[in-house]
Amino acid sequence: MKQLLTLAVVLAAGMGLSVEAGLLGPLGEMVGHMSATFCIFLVGSLLLSLALIFAPRRSLPQLFSQPRWMLNGGVLGPVYVVVITTATPLLGVGTTMVAILFGQVATGLLLDHFGAFGAARQKVDGYRLGALALIAGALALIH
């Protein structure tokens, strides 16, 4: 049951990413892609700062004592947002999201296969490669 609930939340988050791309594309066209990206991270930072006040478990000092490579996600987030902000007006929301999905699944399969970053090892098999091929097919059809 917990896995189904988690899957539903992840699905909703994925839907939110498409809405975000749909909003950011036009905003980037009007105010500039970097300004739109800055806006999204400013609003997000303010909301997260508020949420941290009520978070049951927070330890910011421990955060900065972790290995530096773990903080690289902070670089990847803005890169992702700039890419969707610039790509969406050119490709459309659907194509942008399917292309991102393909990249996410391909990389996810590699990370799982090798157990990178502490992920549980899950070997890439024919089913997983088949799923990736279907996403590639969807990308070819939607583009």
Digit-coded pLDDT (tens) for 94-106:
999 999 999 999 9
Name which residue leads in pLDDT, 58 or 35.
35
The closest alpha carbon to 17, from 104, 139, 90, belongs to: 104
In this prediction, residue 71 carries a pLDDT of: 82
pLDDT > 70 fraction of the chain, expressed in percent and rounded: 100
Please state the domain extents for the chain: 2-142
- Angstrom distances, CA of residue 21 to CA of 94, 118, 142: 10, 30, 17
* Cα 49 to Cα 20, 34, 45, 53, 60, distances in angstroms: 20, 22, 6, 7, 12
Specify the pLDDT at position 130.
98
**DSSP H or E segment with residue 102:** helix 93-114
How does residue 73 score in pLDDT terms, banded at 50, 70 and 90?
confident
pLDDT score, position 70: 85
Looking at the predicted structure, is the pLDDT value of residue 27 above 90? yes
- Average pLDDT, stretch 65-89? 89
- pTM listed for this prediction: 0.83
Residue 3 above 80 pLDDT? yes
Q: Tell me: the pLDDT tens digits for 92-138?
A: 999 999 999 999 999 999 999 999 988 899 999 999 999 999 999 99
Comparing 84 with 59, the larger pLDDT belongs to: 84
14's CB contacts (< 8 A; 6+ apart) are: none
